[in-house]
Structures are given as structure tokens and as C-alpha cells.
Structure 1
């Protein structure tokens, strides 16, 4: 298959865009061809699903040496110069017509390795996407200065020290995992980390031990974490054990030149160890031996760009294709990984049961508290939490986790409790600071004179208290105690061991020297009662991350405030018992009964109402597949006409449904339908 030269008539180009294969009689006045393997198979970055296939070009003699598999190219396609990658060179062409020549070689660097190509193709197939979309995620943009500045040959590597093994002695299967990886084997493990305030035993030290064992076996390492703060901890642990310059960091915070330089160091073999965020999952490490991910349940590891692959799945695909070990760790176990555990894809690595090395967990607001303190037991800061904070401040810092940022992020009518809405767009009203007027969180308009549409009251009350208002209340309750706030835009990395109050939103909790003396988890209902599938699993993940920063044994206490009292809440029970494995198994069994993911394969289709209805009619689905909807879209930034539908089926049927989805997208692209249909396999659980 080949696009024609621009000298040919425009109807041939139109036929190509419609998916046809044009042909033309060969001509004798073409360019001088390469003497060997003159046919180049090229991936052309068209961005069109129906053209998501390789095309053939001829290699001019002057590009013979430079045009090698994996390099970046410029080719002529549909009358324009477009980017492409050279996949391979052949002696004979499959296309019977005349082939257009390559325009030029942008860079001789073989950035698209065969293993990266295989991984990207598999991800594109599993997520009903195009190869070009995945390649944009896997290969960073070229930076010419970085290519010229970095030496081609790697320097001599320093000797890799032996792993201590101390962090893995706390787990039943930990020593065996470390030994197998060090021996060059490729186990797959789901690791539930035990919290500790000892840096030599914490999770960064444990992952650094696995990296050392892998490097000593002569293989490479990829370590992935959800955000920059976790990457900082991994980076520091690796630098301490390996020394400077023995690994690289890949992340979105790097500039174009720094990121491309780090990526080139991996490609050229200067280093064999990579640590970073989700982009590091595609790093072209040579002789890959270990792929590890910390806290795979964090939504930051879900790619926000098409085809929306999850880092957990990218690592699993690489481990399968490249024969590497896979370790998925966290203080909890995500429900998808629990499904893998049940299917035998991974083995569990856990600590023996017991609470001697864990902080004590208490739930405020129970019947005893109500009988003793009355309504104060269910206040924003209950009496038991206040007492625990006052006692803990004599021993060290106190962490207060608040689920919402801002001052008063949600308001309601003082008389009838109806949520306060903007008169213009009906968005929720919030208060930015004391003494200010309410502001709409959607359109930003200031509400001049609020009037409840139900009871005509003009008075407002707080529904949810944010981190800034909580900090004000704590400052008045504990005068003279240093107060730190950590959240969006003002994240604090660490605090000392002196008594202090630290108010933080989930994910922004600073580290404390020696751990916190107490941790208060406020407004538990705000996390637990969200109407989404992952509410309880996400709540437990955030709680355990904060509780893990607390001192173990009698020196530390975790107080859960505002938990619903109408029934036993599994997430609260799992935290009190510190039983994340029990919770993940229970959650998976309940979803299996209700045919919810990950027990069932699910894909989400979004688009305008009429276009989505046409797309659903065009789908050739197997009988086991079920269509749910369409219904109005749940995304706030979508237009009013946007709708969504869910496709649900058992996993054995998923390949047939994926084939139908790819065919539907290709057909709509070939027919030049103006309205696009978004396809998202394994959609965001917060929208289910």
C-alpha cells in the first residue's frame, strides 16, 4: 500500500483518504533507489483511524545509510509532508503500483525499537485506539541539541551494590521475591506494603532493593510512581544506594531537553534504571528485568489522553512481552489487581497479621461518645479528635486530613438545607474566605443576593468545610501551636518532629521526622458517600496513605471523624483492622455479583446524541455484549448534547467487541463524519 506522489492527480489522493488503494503504472524517471532493501515500511502519523496501517515508500539512494528501522522520517502523504517512523525495510513491495520516495530522514536515532513497537501495538488493540496515539505517549518529542550533546557510547558503569534485604524480611514471601528477581527470574507479585516510620524499611527502600537485585542480574529496571513527591522519595533512595548518575528520572515536570536527554540515556544504554511517573512506563530500557509500580490505584496513573491506557496495564503488557518481573505495590490492593490475583496472574506478598507495628485506629462519634459529649461527638472536629490532638501535641506533630480544599466549598440553605446553586448556570456556590460573598464554582460569578428557590430564605450555611476553614478553627482551638497547610498550590514536603498542626488535603500530606503522633481523618462521609463505584476503595487508599505516616504502637493514634453510623462501612472496618486484602476481596466479590468492572469488561462511548445513536447501530456486537444507555454525559465540561453509552461483556468476548469498535471508528473516519465518537476502554471509575 502506498500514497502517490503529489505530481499525480488529486482524485487519487481523495481516493486514498477514503480508504482506497490507488495504483499507477511504474515510471522510469523516478529517483535512484537504494541498492539493497529499497522498500521502506512506514508508520505515517495521519491521526485517522481508517488509515491506521503501515504504508510503503521507496528509499532513495542518498538516504540509504540514514534510513534505518526506528528512525523519524518526513514523507509525502495526501499532498502534505507528515511525520512518520520507519518500521522496516524490504526487498520487495506488496503494493503493485508506483511507490513515492521518502522525503527526508529527520533523525538517524532509532527511537522506535521493536519492543516498543510491539508494546504500543498491543496497547492500541486493547484500548481500541490507533498506533499513532500510543506512540505519542511512548516517545517524547525530538530535541536536536540533546541528541548532539549526549555521547553515543555509554561510560563504564559503577559496580552495583548488593541489596540489604532488610525491608523484605517483614513479608512472608518477601525474601523469595527478592531472591527470584536476583536470580534472573520474572515473577509477578501484588505487594501490600506494611507502614513504617523507619526510612530503611519503608517502601522506597524496598523498591530500591528490588532494583539493586535486578541490576546485579544484568537486567534493567523501570520504577513508576503516581506523582512527583513519590518519585522524589524513590529518586533519593536510589541515589543513596546506587550513587549519582546511575539512574535517570522521567516526568512531566522536566523541560523538553532534560526529558529527551534522560530518555536518550536509557535508549543508548548509558543507564539501565528509570524512575518516573506514568510516561516512564514506556522507557526503552535494555534487557528489561523488572517493572514496578507504587500505588497503582491512584487515578494519576490513568492516562488522560487517547486511548487512555492505565499504567498498570502498560506495565503488565511489557512484562508479558519482554519476560520481565512485575511488582504492583501499595498500602492497599486495587480491585483490578485483586482480580488478577484471583486469576493467578500475580501472587500476593503480604506481612503476617498483627497490629503491634501499626498505629491504633479509633472511630469518633459512636454511641459512647454521643452519650458522653452529646452533639459535640458529631461536630466537624469531634471531642474525641480534639482530645487526641491535644494529648499528641505534647509528643510531636499532628496531621489533620481534610477531604476538600478551599474555605467553604459547598453551601446550602440555612432553613431547608437545599444545596445553594448559581442563578445563572446552576453550579454549586462556595465561599472563598470569611466575609466574602458566595461565588459559583462553575462560572465564577458572584452571587449578590441569595434566595432559596424552595423556601425563599436568604441565609446560607456550610455543607462541607474546606482545609482553610479547618486551619482557622484549629488555630483558635490550639493557640500558640505552629500551623502548616499543605494542598494544591502550596504543598509542603516535610515537617520536623516538633509539636505542630499540619492541615493537608489527601495526597499532599508532608512527611514528619519520626512520624506523626496523631492523625485526624475529618469528614469521612464526604469521601464515603460519593455516588461513584470507587468511593470506598479510594477512601481506604487515601486513609491508609495518611495513617502510614503515623507512629506505630501506642505512640500513634488515627482518629476517623464523621463516619456514617447507619451501617457497618467496609472501608472503616478495613482501616480499623488494617485488612486491605480482605477489603479488596470483598469489593471484587460484590462487583462480580452486580456484573461491574473489573469482574466484567466495560467500554464507554461518548458523543453527540444523534451521532452516538448512529454509532451504536453500526456496531456489530456479539450476543453476549450488552449496551447500557445512552444517557446524558456525566462530564461537566461536555456540551449539553453529549451523551454516553456503556458496553459490557465477559472478558472472553472482549476481543470481538474491540474489533467491532475499531471497525466502527474506521468506517466513520473513512466517511468523514464530522461528529467524533470517543471510545474509552476501562473508563474512569469515578464516572461509573
Structure 2
């Protein structure tokens, strides 16, 4: 398919599928003649005529129906000839309705045998869809069994006409060198770091999985990699998990590159400012970008480097169809454009380990001597056996070692306390028989928001002041899991006179000072301590993280622990409440996430779990899943697991009329992944064409399998 009126470029995934000719939208019968349909103007005077040069426009219509996932041909009227440029937004008549679309290209003729409708209007002549992004969107849609329109919604932000009309700022010349000394900077700590930078500067495509040293230097290291890429005349794209990490890298990029050489794409500035920054990338004004998940589709011209930080963070998972992961999308972009790739973090995921084992990327890590000098001193301890040693420790729900460690460290600076759950008491049970306390109306779990409040339902919000245990009749409850607010309250009593600050969902702190304080945080919300970092750290209730019924429980626990531990000063004490014999705790003690990830990947390969295999999750009613599987021509060796009932939570659990949902898993070898996605996409198209009353949610390699 041609995208820009120049050389022909095939979109991957279409060359092995029979081409469906672009045709008249449904609802209009095709005719034998090929004359263009004419639209008479008001008053009967004149008629619309097609443009003389390249009169056919191929349009990606904004429709998510799988059986209509292809471009459609329209005629370009002469009056829109100059405005209708490839990549612009248009309005077209589709099945009797006006819908939005994006013009992929203009052509001299159409394969359609019937009459073609005219473009209704050009919404904006701004070419927002770049050819490279169009090809990438098609490949992502095919990889995740989705539709082209769904991917484009993720890739292109909504239009703001006022922003488009603003004067264009001047672009920074490509030959202008960025600020900085040009040396390896933080990469000098890694044996392969300087050679990685040299390859980027020379226009190469080095691909590395980076295990970063603990400490605050990682934003500066990313900024230096971006700087050398720009110095080599190419652009760079950096994707972070959340806005706080984006702000840290944004600050480092400004210090490294100078003003005006990059943009930050997040939701905080608002839709108009975000669109303004996105246009700066599309127009080539900015050649480097850092942003959250949606930035993976940013149209950086002449891409030379893609960076993904902390790829194991579940915030990276896209919640909208077709649910692409930035790791896969950025890997595709690096492969398609010949760009370098850097996937980094304090720990390493099994997915990144598979990239190293396959030879697609190389490991980039510091030597063991350097790691030992920067890592904290980790002590895993039991939780219940030591609580009786100290009365104040028992009050604060701390082991004696944790209590003593915090008390001594508070003389030197702030102490970080990580708690797995937010809230006060997010889990309650009967005080006598330990039966979970549930709501009498919807069976949702009960919780407490403070010491003086009544239990309430976390699903429906009802107050359960008259709750009694259905098993033994007891009317008092006890905590099953203690939240961050309750922990802060207990620590305040155990350490009188010491400031206690909390960071979580309600209020996330970005930084804390160097003065002594207890900082209680949930995983992922830990603020950075100014100066050298935290004087000590306490990782509480490790059993909550390790005990989750999840395939990635151990991997995710180690990631959360190491991200918190990396904020401590070198050789600072770190107490983790977990069995020291468990593999994640041992990996933390040795600060060796690579060996843990390699062993985890080997075990998953033995039992056939991702990322060693490809899996598709099908969620819907039992009848819909059976219908989809009946139409899917699954590849040889495909294994269907289930379907099994899906646990319904939240307010949906109260709706007695809601249809029963089930989930089936389809497992294939990794080599058969494209065939599996193609089979499910075709089956979805068949059901869509037949107007099946119930839909099936299809996810390729979902994060949650259990």
C-alpha cells in the first residue's frame, strides 16, 4: 500500500493475507460503471468534479469493526485538491453516516469497480499521520489481533484547531550539537557503556538490556544516551511509567541538551498543550521526546534511539484495545527504523531476559565490585517471632531488628518504610474465627478508613456498622492487611517526636528533605530523598506481595523491593520482612536480579508460560467464546485452556442480571504467535460481519493469567 504518493511500501501483515480491494462502504450497492458519482450543488448549478491529479484518496475510516479493518477509496473533489494531503484528517460518508478518517495516500486510480463517493471535507490539512506510524500501527494491530483504527486512536491525539493555527516555532538545526561535554558521563561505570554511546553517535543500532546501578544517576544516564544520539543527527524517544519519572528525565534532558531541544508528553499540561508538543514532534521542531505510555507512538523523525525504563511496571500496560505493550512497540520501531534500543531498570524482567537470550539485545551491567559499593546492606527477617522482644516494636508492627535499625538511622536522616497496601485497614476478618468480613448486600470485602470509623464495603460503599460473623456470630473484626495510613499512625506512636509523612494514591510526594523523618509509602509512590538518599529502609509485610496468586508475583515483588532499595544511600541498612530463604529475598540480598530472571524464565519455559510462549486471553460469555473458537483457524500445536468462570468484582458483582463471563487461554509456541493473532483477528472479523450479539475481549500476552 502506498502511503505518501512516492515509492510503494507494504504494510507488514498484509502481504501474506489476500488483498481485499478498497470498496464502496456497506449500504450502497456497487454498480458496473466506474464513473465518479457527482453531487449537484444547491440550486442545480454545477457539480463536484474529481481532482485532475491523483483523484483517489485511500482513507482509514475511524471504525473498529474487525470485518471493516481495511482502507476505503474515495474521490478527491477539485475544490479540496490542495488541502487533501496524505496523513490529513477527513470526513467521509460511510454507510449513510458522516465519520472521521485519516487519508493514507492519494492514487491515480482505484481497484473498486463501482462508483466512488467524494470526500465530504478535509477537517484539517495538517498531515498528522506519518507513513512510518501508519506502517507501525498496522503491524501492531496485526500483532495484537486488533484493528488499525484502534491503534490510531492511541497513536494520534485529538485535534485542537487553535493550536494548529498558531505560528510555528523555528526548529533547532539538526547539525547543532547539544550541550554537554560529550564524554560517557554515568556510563563510565559500566564496562560496555562507552562503546554503547559510540555506536549511537556513529549512527549504529546497538540494543541493550540495562541493569542500572542503585542510586539517582539513571536519569542522567538516559539523558547522555539521548544527547549522543542527537549529536549523531538522529532523534530519540524515551518512555517512562509515570509522570514523576518523566519529570526527572525531563530535568536531566534540559541540563544535558539545553532548552528547546526536547518535549515532554504527559497528561498533566492538558489536552491543548499536549497536542502542541505532539505537533512539535510531528513537524520536526523537537527531535527528542520523553513521555508516558502513549508516547511510544510519538512521530519522531529519523529515529535513532528508543528507551524504555522499568518495563516490568504494570502501569505500562495499555488498558485500551488492542492492549499493546510499549516494550513490544518500541522493539518493533527499533527493528523497522534501524534504531538503537535501551530497556533499563534496577531489576530485570523475564521478557527482557528473553530478548537477551535470543540475541536481539545484549546485557549492559556494572561489575560486581561496583555493585557491592553502591547497594544497601539487606537483612531479611521473620515477622512474628521477633515481635515479642520489644514493646514499642510490637506496637509499631515491626521486628526488633527493624525497630532498632529505624531508631539508629533517624539520627542520620530520613527512613523509608514501604507498605504493600494503601489505606488504613484495607482487609478485615472476624476477630474470633478469622473468617473474612464481607458485605451483607454484595459480598464485597469490608475495610476501615480510620480508628473511629465503622467498617464499609470496598465494592458498594455501604456502611456495615451492625456486622456480625456469619460463622460464629462474633461482632468484632481484626486486621488482615494493614495499610499505609495505619502504619504511619503506629509508627508515630512508636517514635514520638519524629515527623511521619505518607505517600500514596491520595497524595504522592515527589521529594522529601534530608532531615530525619519516617516516610511511609506504597510501592511505586516512594519519594526521592534529597542529598545522598535515605539513611535506612524498611520493607514491611513482604508476605502480602509474595503471596499473591499471580504468575509474576515473585518477579514483581523483587522489582518493587529493588526500586525502593535503590533510593537508599550506599551501604545503608535495609530490613525486609520476608523469609530469607525465598528466591526473591536472596536476589535482593545479593543484588542479583539477572540470575533470578534467568532462572524464572527457565522455569516458565519448562511449564509453558509467557514469555517463553505466546498466550491469548479470550473473555466473554460462554456462548461467545465457543463461537469465536469455532471460527478461529488456530495454528498447529495450539492448546486451549479452559474456559473457566471469571471472578466478578466491584459494583458489577451487585448486578444479578449481568451475563456470566468466562475466560479461555490459547497457548502456542512463540514462533506461532503471528499465526495465532491472525487466526483470532479473522475469527473476530467473521463474528463482526455476522453481527454477533456478544463480543469477546481478546488480549495477547496479558499481564494477569491467574
TM-score by length of 1: 0.93
The residue matched to 1:304 in structure 2 has which SS?
coil
The whole-number CA distance in structure 2 between the counterparts of 1:112 and 1:235 is 26
- Superimposed CA distance per residue, residues 489-516 of structure 1 (whole angstroms, 9 cap, x where no aligned partner): 2111111111111111111111112110
- 1:332 Cα deviation (Å)? 0.6
- Superimposed CA distance per residue, residues 35-89 of structure 1 (whole angstroms, 9 cap, x where no aligned partner): 1111111111122110010111111111111111111111111111111111111
Q: 1:375 to 1:339 in 2, by over 3 A?
A: farther
Q: 1:520 maps to what in 2?
A: 538
Which of 603, 619, 622 is the aligned partner of 1:606? 619
The residue matched to 1:356 in structure 2 has which SS?
helix
- 1:656 Cα deviation (Å)? 2.1
Q: Does 1:324 align with 2:339?
A: yes
The residue matched to 1:362 in structure 2 has which SS?
strand
Of residues 226-235 and 91-100 in structure 1, the stretch that sits farther from structure 2 once superposed is 91-100
Q: 1:388 maps to what in 2?
A: 405
**How many residue pairs are counted as aligned between the two chains?**
666
Aligned counterparts, 1:401-420, within 5 A: 401-420=418-437
Q: Does 1:110 align with 2:127?
A: yes
The whole-number CA distance in structure 2 between the counterparts of 1:36 and 1:584 is 58
- Superimposed CA distance per residue, residues 76-109 of structure 1 (whole angstroms, 9 cap, x where no aligned partner): 1111111111111111211111111111111111
Which of 79, 100, 113 is the aligned partner of 1:62? 79
The whole-number CA distance in structure 1 between the counterparts of 2:507 and 2:64 is 39
Q: Does 1:583 align with 2:600?
A: no
The whole-number CA distance in structure 2 between the counterparts of 1:192 and 1:155 is 33
- 1:461 Cα deviation (Å)? 0.8
Q: Does 1:123 align with 2:140?
A: yes
Q: 2:674 maps to what in 1?
A: 655
Q: 1:8 maps to what in 2?
A: none
Q: 2:17 maps to what in 1?
A: none
- Superimposed CA distance per residue, residues 373-414 of structure 1 (whole angstroms, 9 cap, x where no aligned partner): 799789831111010000000111101111111111101111
Which of 651, 660, 665 is the aligned partner of 2:684? 665
Q: 1:217 maps to what in 2?
A: 232
Q: Does 1:570 align with 2:578?
A: no
The whole-number CA distance in structure 1 between the counterparts of 2:207 and 2:70 is 33
The whole-number CA distance in structure 2 between the counterparts of 1:367 and 1:421 is 26
Aligned counterparts, 1:540-551, within 5 A: 540-551=558-569
Of residues 367-376 and 518-527 in structure 1, the stretch that sits farther from structure 2 once superposed is 367-376
The whole-number CA distance in structure 2 between the counterparts of 1:674 and 1:367 is 54
CA contact (8 A) 2:136 2:333 kept: yes
The whole-number CA distance in structure 2 between the counterparts of 1:348 and 1:634 is 40
The whole-number CA distance in structure 2 between the counterparts of 1:345 and 1:360 is 34
Which of 629, 637, 646 is the aligned partner of 1:633? 646
The residue matched to 2:151 in structure 1 has which SS?
helix
- 1:456 Cα deviation (Å)? 2.0
The whole-number CA distance in structure 1 between the counterparts of 2:564 and 2:336 is 36
Aligned counterparts, 1:183-194, within 5 A: 183-194=202-213
The residue matched to 1:502 in structure 2 has which SS?
strand
The whole-number CA distance in structure 2 between the counterparts of 1:547 and 1:196 is 9
Which of 566, 569, 576 is the aligned partner of 1:560? 576
The residue matched to 1:84 in structure 2 has which SS?
strand
Q: Does 1:160 align with 2:168?
A: no
CA contact (8 A) 2:263 2:277 kept: yes
CA contact (8 A) 2:459 2:649 kept: no
Q: 1:329 to 1:438 in 2, by over 3 A?
A: same
- Superimposed CA distance per residue, residues 571-618 of structure 1 (whole angstroms, 9 cap, x where no aligned partner): 111001100001100110111111011111001011112222222222
Q: 1:267 maps to what in 2?
A: 282
Q: 2:292 maps to what in 1?
A: 277
Q: 1:295 maps to what in 2?
A: 310
CA-based RMSD: 2.0
- 1:152 Cα deviation (Å)? 6.9
The whole-number CA distance in structure 1 between the counterparts of 2:165 and 2:144 is 36
The whole-number CA distance in structure 1 between the counterparts of 2:164 and 2:298 is 17
Q: Does 1:314 align with 2:333?
A: no
The whole-number CA distance in structure 1 between the counterparts of 2:147 and 2:301 is 25
The whole-number CA distance in structure 2 between the counterparts of 1:586 and 1:416 is 40
Q: 1:314 to 1:172 in 2, by over 3 A?
A: same
Q: 1:155 to 1:516 in 2, by over 3 A?
A: closer
- 1:155 Cα deviation (Å)? 5.2
CA contact (8 A) 1:365 1:378 kept: no
- Superimposed CA distance per residue, residues 139-158 of structure 1 (whole angstroms, 9 cap, x where no aligned partner): 11111111111417535575
- Superimposed CA distance per residue, residues 408-449 of structure 1 (whole angstroms, 9 cap, x where no aligned partner): 110111111111111111111111100211111111111122
The residue matched to 1:405 in structure 2 has which SS?
coil
The whole-number CA distance in structure 2 between the counterparts of 1:605 and 1:366 is 40
Q: Does 1:682 align with 2:701?
A: yes
The residue matched to 2:374 in structure 1 has which SS?
coil
Q: 1:25 maps to what in 2?
A: 33
CA contact (8 A) 1:493 1:511 kept: yes
The whole-number CA distance in structure 2 between the counterparts of 1:426 and 1:194 is 46
Aligned counterparts, 1:73-92, within 5 A: 73-92=90-109
Q: Does 1:618 align with 2:631?
A: yes
The whole-number CA distance in structure 2 between the counterparts of 1:84 and 1:368 is 65
The residue matched to 2:343 in structure 1 has which SS?
strand
Q: 1:172 to 1:366 in 2, by over 3 A?
A: farther
Q: 2:112 maps to what in 1?
A: 95
Which of 189, 194, 217 is the aligned partner of 1:170? 189
The whole-number CA distance in structure 1 between the counterparts of 2:448 and 2:313 is 29
Which of 590, 607, 621 is the aligned partner of 1:594? 607
- 1:640 Cα deviation (Å)? 5.4
CA contact (8 A) 1:3 1:77 kept: no
CA contact (8 A) 2:500 2:519 kept: yes
CA contact (8 A) 2:514 2:529 kept: yes
Aligned counterparts, 1:429-508, within 5 A: 429-508=446-525
- 1:458 Cα deviation (Å)? 1.7
Aligned counterparts, 1:296-375, within 5 A: 296-354=311-369, 355-365=372-382
The whole-number CA distance in structure 2 between the counterparts of 1:78 and 1:28 is 18
CA contact (8 A) 1:627 1:646 kept: yes
CA contact (8 A) 1:154 1:269 kept: yes
The residue matched to 2:368 in structure 1 has which SS?
coil
The whole-number CA distance in structure 1 between the counterparts of 2:500 and 2:154 is 41
- 1:3 Cα deviation (Å)? 5.7
Aligned counterparts, 1:124-139, within 5 A: 124-139=141-156
Q: 1:368 to 1:675 in 2, by over 3 A?
A: closer
The residue matched to 1:605 in structure 2 has which SS?
strand
The residue matched to 1:235 in structure 2 has which SS?
helix
Q: Does 1:531 align with 2:549?
A: yes
